[in-house]
């Protein structure tokens, strides 16, 4: 006889994650507690209808391949969250396998709101059973618990597309799937994502659970991490695994010969205990297609959809007075990888290397914003100057073709200004001009005597020294200018010299976050300080930075293994702490002091 079990109440999930309270649309799913059993082993299949209304005319599939021990057992539940009411009804059967082989349980049907809903078929594999020992040691029980947790808890990474162009954004999502009670978790290994420029996307601090059916089993699913990836080169790239350390609450299984215990008791029943269990996602490969050949002029690797603006801070100026030319590229795509466009200016305008500023935002799953290049220009001669139009090209992924936009031509009027660097009166002050009026004296009349009062300056040693001094001064000036040009052209050298200064700026910012107890901002700034210092000091591009590359590069420069290990540990600790549920201020202070000492030690050991 069928058993009817009706339970109405508020469902409280014993899980540290919080479930999304929004009303869900109706769904009819089938799930099993295990899809791999041995001959004679029991398992349960459940058909669940969720939504705002009930169903009618439930029709189960054929279960003739198995022995039906109980069912259908009907259960109804009601859930009230934030004032929204939703209900669900489920029909479950307890089955027992008869013979070895692979079997398919077909679709169940039910009517709701004038529509017939249908479940997906489920595959069951029945293997030959092994004889059980009369007594099993404690170690075997622990192994069995670990196996059961592993069958009901896993981590998975998925991408929105597995084949992309070089530089095109692909979004990776790391999800945890669970059918057990997870009371705590922490990220123990963050993916390195070598070969990608990556940007973390926002996820809720409190994970919101949804439900998914995987291989016939229904799981609670939460998103741990979402990241936007931009591949830097073509070929097959691999998204590295992520590891999470979970604390799972389990209960000792009750040993009972009561058939009702076997039907209705939880798989873990008794005194609760906590078990540490590590889950790891499988690596995922992405196929990166190279961009089409014959790129147009003005293309420097921009992929996405962009627009360009150019303007001068003023259109009228004087000679030797600086003006600013700004080029702003806006849109969505690989913004942080955009290079300065090639701009040609008239020879009468002296141009300096641009200053770059970013305004990057996250619009849903898209990385958007702008990158601005500021050029300092100094006109050296008067007259009308025209800054010609220049092209900017990007690859449009939607159109699968290159797009070129041209900047407008800019006009500049230069008036004659004060020329302090040329002319015979250069460097003469107002006081000097007054003295010039006193140089003309009236001639004395009468008897005068022209007698030498001392040695003449002309022909003296000082006269020749001062006459020849402009030559070495000019040579020194030329050497200085060339050396400065070489230094400015040596980007890696400039980064090396400014590495510690930039790291100190970031550490100062991290100290401000530490004082205001902003944990995520603090650890993110410490991580940027360490990664930025190593990248600048060793001349490694940001896209190529990884723990393995840094380890080998530092070892080659004479840095001790102990220091390298501390660096890797500190970086991993920062990444771990950003995702950890809590972090105390004492640990944050220790991380800050450790980062300061690490930079000093590496600076001293590098050769």
- pLDDT value for 393: 92
Say whether pTM exceeds 0.85: no
Burial of 115 (0-12, 13-18, 19+ CB in 10 A): exposed
- pLDDT value for 110: 87
pLDDT digits (tens, 9 = 90+) for 228-244: 999 888 888 888 888 88
CA distance 590 to 50: 50
Whole-number Cα distances in Å, 359 to 96, 336, 367, 506, 551: 62, 10, 11, 18, 32
Q: What whole-number percentage of the chain has pLDDT above 70?
A: 74
- pLDDT value for 372: 93
Judge if 18-127 and 299-415 fold alike in CATH terms: yes
Tell me if 75 sits within 8 A of 89, measured CB to CB.
yes
- pLDDT value for 491: 47
CA distance 23 to 226: 24
Tell me if 66 sits within 8 A of 96, measured CB to CB.
yes
Q: Which CATH number fits domain 299-415: 3.40.1260.10, 2.60.40.10, 2.30.140.10, 2.60.40.740?
A: 2.60.40.740
Whole-number Cα distances in Å, 118 to 28, 73, 123: 7, 19, 16
- pLDDT value for 271: 55
CATH of segment(s) 18-127: 2.60.40.10
CA distance 306 to 545: 27
Q: Phi and psi (nearest 5°) for 176?
A: -110, 130
Tell me if 238 sits within 8 A of 48, measured CB to CB.
no
The residue among 500, 509, 523, 539 whose CA lies nearest residue 588 is 523
- pLDDT value for 4: 36
- pLDDT value for 85: 56
DSSP of 508-534: HHHHHHHHTT-HHHHHHHHHHHHHHHH
Q: Show me where the domains of the chain are located.
A: 18-127, 142-289, 299-415, 489-605
CATH of segment(s) 489-605: 1.20.120
Residue with tokens 């934030």: 82
- pLDDT value for 431: 35
CA distance 521 to 513: 6
Whole-number Cα distances in Å, 282 to 220, 240, 242, 331: 19, 8, 8, 34
10-residue mean pLDDT series, the chain (607 residues): 37 37 65 84 85 76 83 68 64 85 89 85 83 47 66 87 90 89 78 83 81 84 89 87 83 49 44 76 89 87 91 89 90 86 86 87 82 90 89 90 91 78 37 38 50 59 75 79 62 60 83 83 84 82 72 83 84 70 67 86 79
């Amino acid at each position: 006889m069928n058993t009817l079990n009706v339970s109405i109440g508020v469902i409280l999930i014993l899980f540290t994650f919080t479930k999304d309270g929004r009303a869900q649309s109706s769904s009819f799913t089938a799930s099993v507690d295990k899809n791999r059993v041995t001959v004679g082993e029991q398992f349960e299949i459940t058909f669940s209808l969720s939504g705002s209304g009930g169903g009618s005319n439930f029709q189960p599939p054929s279960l003739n391949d198995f022995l039906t021990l109980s069912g259908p057992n009907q259960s109804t539940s009601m859930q009230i969250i934030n004032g929204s009411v939703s209900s669900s009804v489920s029909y479950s059967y307890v089955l027992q396998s008869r013979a070895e082989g692979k079997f398919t349980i077909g679709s169940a049907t039910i009517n709701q709101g004038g529509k017939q809903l249908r479940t997906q078929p489920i595959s069951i594999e029945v293997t030959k059973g092994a004889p059980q020992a009369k007594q099993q040691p404690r170690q075997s029980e622990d192994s069995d618990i670990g196996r059961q947790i592993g069958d009901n808890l896993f981590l998975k990474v998925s991408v929105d597309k597995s084949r992309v162009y070089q530089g095109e954004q692909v979004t990776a999502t790391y999800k945890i799937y669970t059918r057990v009670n997870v009371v705590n978790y922490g990220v123990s290994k963050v993916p390195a994502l070598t070969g990608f420029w990556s940007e973390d996307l926002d996820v809720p601090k409190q994970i919101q659970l949804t439900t998914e059916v995987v291989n016939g089993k229904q799981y609670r699913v939460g998103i741990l991490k979402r990241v936007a990836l931009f591949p830097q080169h073509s070929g097959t790239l691999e998204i590295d695994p992520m590891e999470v350390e979970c604390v799972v609450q389990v209960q000792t299984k009750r040993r009972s010969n009561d058939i009702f215990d076997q039907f209705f008791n939880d798989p873990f029943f008794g005194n609760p205990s906590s078990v540490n269990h590590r889950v790891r996602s499988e690596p995922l490969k992405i196929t990166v297609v190279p961009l089409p050949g014959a790129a147009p002029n003005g293309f420097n690797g921009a992929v996405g959809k962009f627009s360009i603006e150019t303007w001068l801070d003023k259109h009228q100026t004087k000679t030797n007075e600086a003006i600013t030319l700004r080029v702003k590229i806006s849109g969505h795509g690989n913004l942080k990888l955009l290079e300065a466009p090639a701009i040609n200016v008239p020879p009468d305008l002296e141009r300096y290397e641009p200053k770059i500023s970013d305004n990057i935002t996250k619009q849903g799953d898209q990385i958007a914003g702008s990158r601005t290049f500021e050029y300092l220009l100094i006109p050296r001669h008067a007259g009308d100057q025209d800054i010609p139009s220049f092209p900017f090209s990007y690859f449009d992924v939607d159109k699968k073709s290159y797009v070129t936009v041209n900047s407008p031509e800019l006009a500049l009027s230069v008036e004659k200004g004060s020329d302090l660097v040329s002319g015979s009166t250069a460097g003469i002050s107002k006081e000097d001009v007054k003295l010039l009026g006193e140089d003309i004296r009236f001639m004395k009349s009468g008897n005068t005597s022209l007698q030498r009062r001392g040695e003449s300056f002309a022909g003296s040693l000082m006269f020749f020294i001062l006459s020849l001094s402009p030559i070495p001064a000019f040579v020194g000036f030329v050497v200085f200018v060339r050396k400065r040009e070489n230094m400015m052209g040596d980007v890696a050298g400039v980064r090396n010299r400014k590495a510690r200064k930039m790291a100190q700026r970031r550490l100062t910012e991290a100290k401000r976050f530490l004082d205001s107890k902003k944990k995520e901002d603090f650890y993110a700034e410490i991580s940027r300080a360490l990664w930025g210092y190593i990248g600048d000091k060793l001349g490694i591009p940001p896209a190529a930075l990884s723990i393995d590359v840094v380890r080998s590069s530092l070892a080659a420069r004479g840095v001790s293994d102990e220091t390298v290990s501390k660096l890797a540990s500190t970086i991993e600790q920062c990444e771990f702490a950003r995702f950890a549920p809590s972090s105390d201020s004492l640990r944050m202070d220790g991380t800050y002091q450790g980062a300061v000492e690490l930079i000093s030690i590496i600076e001293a050991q590098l050769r």
